[in-house]
Amino acid sequence: MAEAEVAHRWSPISDLAETDLDLDRAELLSLSGVWDDVKIELPTDQVDDFNERLKREWAIETGLIERVYTFDAGITQLLIEQGIDASLIPHDATDKAPQVVAGIIADQAQAVDFLFDFVAQQRRLSSSYIKELHALMTRKQATASGIDQFGRPVEVPLTHGEYKLHPNNPTQPDGRVFEYCPPEQVASEMDQLVEMHLEHVDDGIAAELEAAWLHHRFTQIHPFQDGNGRVARALASLVLIREGWFPLVVASSDRVKYLDNLKAADSGDLQPLASQIAAVQRTWFRKAIGIGEQVRQAAERTDQLIAAIGDQFRERRVQTRVDMEQAKETSATLAHMATARFRGLQDDLSRAIGADGQARRVFVDYGLDEDAERRSWHRYQVITTARHAALDYWANPRELHSWVRLGLVTESGRSEILFSLHGINREFRGLVGASMCLYRRQKGDDIEHQIMELEPVCGELFQFNYKEAAASVERRFDGWLEDSLLRGLDQWRRGE
C-alpha cells in the first residue's frame, strides 16, 4: 500500500514569536474592571448562580465541538438552565445513551471546579496535573475511535491519564495525513510545553495570548489517545481563570471558525486564535455585567423592587454618573467619526452608480444622541440586528442612541446601511455597543416602506466601556467601521 501524503508534518513545539506579542488589550482589561465593579454589588449566591450556568455551558459545549456526543441547541439550553440530568435528554435526541452522555458532561463540569481549585491553591502547572485533568475529563468515556490494520474504523479501550502508545495522526477528507507528535517524543515535548508556559507566566504574557499558545502547542503534541481537544480548552481556561476571567467556551456553532484559526496557528499565525479567545471573553463579560440585573429582578419581591426603585432615584452615586457620562462622551466622538466617513462615501458612491437624483441616488442622514427626536428612529432595526444569532446581545437604545444611515437607491430598489451606537443590557452601566446592518425597503399596501432581508454586516459587535481610554476606543473603532462598511457595500453590490 502506498504511503499517504502528509498534509502537516510534525515538528517540535516553538515558543512565542515577536509578532505574536502585538496585542491591543485595553478593551479586555477595562471590561474586567467593569465586571469587578458590578460583582461587588451582587450577593455571592447570584455570582455563584452565574458561574454555575457558565460551568454547565462549558461542560456541554466542549464535548459537542469534538462530537463526543450530539444533540440540538434546545437540549443544550435546557441542561444549562435545569442542570445536568439524564432525564432531560430524550433517547432519540443523541447518539449515545442519555446516562452515558450525562455522565461525560458531569465529569467535564467537575473539571471546571478542578481548574478553579488549582488556581485557588496557587499551584504551578505540571505534566502530572495535565494527566490528572485528562483522567477526570474522560473518566466515563470507555473507548476511543481508531483504525485497524486494514484501515477500518474501530472502537478501542481508552486509557485515562496516560500518554499515547501509538500514533494518532488523523487522515483528512482529502486522504492526506496530519502528523502529531510521535509517542516516543511526547514526554519530552510535554515537559518542554510546561517549562515554556511557566516562563510565560513569570514574564506576564497577556492571558488571551498565552491561552492561545498553550492550547495550540498542546494540540500539536496531541499527547493522549483521545480527549486532546477537551484538555486543550481546559488548559486555555486555566490561564484565563488565573487572570480572573472566564473559562473558554467555544460553542459548537463556532466550530468551523475555531478549526480554521487552529489551522492558521499551524502555519505560524497565532493571532486569529488569540482574537477568537478575546472575543469569547468579551461576550462573557457582557453577559456577566448584564446578569446581575436579571438575577436581581428574578429574586426580588414587589415590595423589595419598589424600595429598590426608590433607592435608585434617591441615591445615585456621583461617581456612577461620571462614569456613564464618560461613556456618552466617547460615544459622541465615535458617532461623529462614523458620520464623517459616511458623508465621505456619499460622493464617491454617487459617481460610481451614475446618480441622477431620481432613479439612482445616494443619501446620508443621521440622528445623534443629543437630538431627542431623531435618536429614537430605527429602533426596530437596531434591536433586530442585536437579536441575530451572529451577535446575540441585548440592545438598549433608551439611555443612549446615535445612528448614521447610508441610503442606496437604484432601479433594483432602495437599500440602506445603518450604523448604530447604543447601550448594552437592560440596565445601562456604561457598556456601549456599535452594530451595522443592511436591509432593503419595499413599498407595501399597508406600510409605506417595509423593511426586508435585514442582516448584520459587522463581523462582530463593537463594544467599549467607561473604563477604557477614549484614544484606545477610537483606534479600535476606526478599523471596525471600515471593515463593516466594506462588508455592507460588498453585500449590497452582490445583491444588485
Residues 283 and 238 in one domain: yes
Task: Please state, as a whole number, how many other Cβ atoms lie within 10 Å of the Cβ of residue 210.
Answer: 24
Number of domains within the chain:
2
What residues contact residue 399 under an 8 Å CB cut-off, 6+ apart?
423, 428
Q: What is the pLDDT of residue 319?
A: 45
**Residue 420 to residue 405: CA distance in whole angstroms:** 9
Same domain (yes/no): 353, 275: no
Quick: pLDDT tens for 45-89.
888 888 999 999 999 999 999 999 998 888 998 999 889 999 999
In this structure, is residue 127 part of a structural domain? yes
Backbone angles phi, psi at 329, to 5 degrees: -65, -45
Q: Both 260 and 326 in a single domain?
A: no
- Specify the pLDDT at position 146: 67
User: Does residue 308 lie in a domain region?
Assistant: no
Q: Specify the pLDDT at position 46.
A: 81
C-alpha pair distances (Å), 85 with each of 20, 60, 115, 216, 371:
42, 12, 22, 32, 52
Name which residue leads in pLDDT, 146 or 185: 185
386, pLDDT greater than 80:
yes
Pair 118, 238: CB distance under 8 Å: yes
The predicted pLDDT at position 314 comes to: 47
Burial of 468 (0-12, 13-18, 19+ CB in 10 A): buried
| DSSP tag of 171 | B
Which residues pair with residue 422 across a beta bridge?
401, 433
The residue segments making up the domain with residue 369 are: 318-495
CATH code, domain carrying 68: 1.10.3290.10
pLDDT tens per residue across span 313-323: 444 444 456 66
Domain-located, residue 386: yes
Question: Residue 147: pLDDT band by 50, 70, 90 thresholds?
Answer: low
In a domain, 465, yes or no: yes
Q: What pLDDT does 23 receive?
A: 74
DSSP alpha helices (H): ranges in 159-299?
186-203, 207-221, 228-242, 255-266, 271-299
Residues 132 and 268 reside in one and the same domain: yes
Say whether both 264 and 322 belong to one domain: no
Indicate whether 373 belongs to any domain. yes
What is the model's pTM? 0.81
Residue-level pLDDT at 316: 43
H helices within 65-158, ranges in order?
73-82, 98-120, 127-137
Clarify whether residues 329 and 429 are in a common domain: yes
Is residue 219 domain-shared with residue 368, that is, in the same domain? no
Q: Are 234 and 133 in contact (CB under 8 A)?
A: yes
Q: Which three cell numbers stand for residue 178?
A: 496530519
361 sits in the region (left: phi over 0; alpha: psi -120 to 50; else beta) called beta
In a domain, 6, yes or no: no
> 338 and 263 in one domain?
no
- For 353-376, the pLDDT digits (tens) are 998 878 899 999 999 877 777 888
**Res. 44: pLDDT tops 70:** yes
- The verdict on residue 246 lying in a domain is yes
Provide the percentage of residues in the chain whose pLDDT is more than 90: 59
**Residue 397, CA atoms < 13 Å, CB-side half-sphere:** 27
Q: What's the mean pLDDT in 191-211?
A: 96
254 is a domain residue: yes
